[in-house]
Amino acid sequence: MLLDAGPLVAFLNRDDEWHNWAVAQFKRFPQFITCEAVLAEACARLAYYRREQSKVIELILNSAVVVDFEIEQSADRILRLMKKYADQPMDFADACLVAMSERTSDSVVVTLDETDFSVYRRHEREIVPLITPKQR
């Protein structure tokens, strides 16, 4: 399970409209894999909402979230993705998650961003498998 910033923020922010859904995902899956770009984005959003950024790091220390991505090995792919989807625009964290999804065929991205991720393609043609909440 690859984790995007939206569910991470929703999990840590009780006032988020998707908080209950995010809590259910953290109960459903014992561990998520993500990248540093997602963590930075989540921390920035939490700071904006005046929430504790340190909670993100606590999830790493508790092994609920694992960072397993090295930008150096995927920089070319990330650059190609960001250029291809510049009209979205695809942000750095999303590009990293798509690149991460290409490493393992059965990976799934847990995200609130169904609109953008439904457009992105891994390996140029494959739909990125997603878990998203039912939109209201």
Q: Is the pLDDT of residue 135 over 80?
A: no
Q: Secondary structure of the chain in the HEC alphabet? A: CEECHHHHHHHHCCCCCCHHHHHHHHHHCCCEEECHHHHHHHHHHHHHCCCCCHHHHHHHHCCCEEECCCHHHHHHHHHHHHHHCCCCCCCHHHHHHHHHHHHCCCCCEECCCHHHHCCCEECCCEECCEECCCCC
* Residue 78: φ, ψ to 5°: -60, -45
The model's confidence at residue 136, banded by pLDDT at 50, 70 and 90, is low
Sign of CA dihedral 110, 112, 117, 118: positive
Distance between CA atoms of 94 and 78, rounded to whole angstroms? 9
Per-residue pLDDT tens digits for 73-100: 999 999 999 999 999 889 999 999 999 9
**50: CB partners within 8 A, 6+ apart:** none
Per-residue pLDDT tens digits for 23-56: 999 999 999 999 999 999 999 999 999 999 999 9
What per-residue confidence (pLDDT) applies to 131? 97
Distance between CA atoms of 72 and 53, rounded to whole angstroms? 26
What per-residue confidence (pLDDT) applies to 134? 85
Distance between CA atoms of 5 and 53, rounded to whole angstroms? 12
The model's confidence at residue 118, banded by pLDDT at 50, 70 and 90, is very high
Write down the CATH number for the domain with range 2-131: 3.40.50.1010
Average pLDDT rounded to a whole number, residues 97-118: 96
What ranges do the domains of the chain cover? 2-131
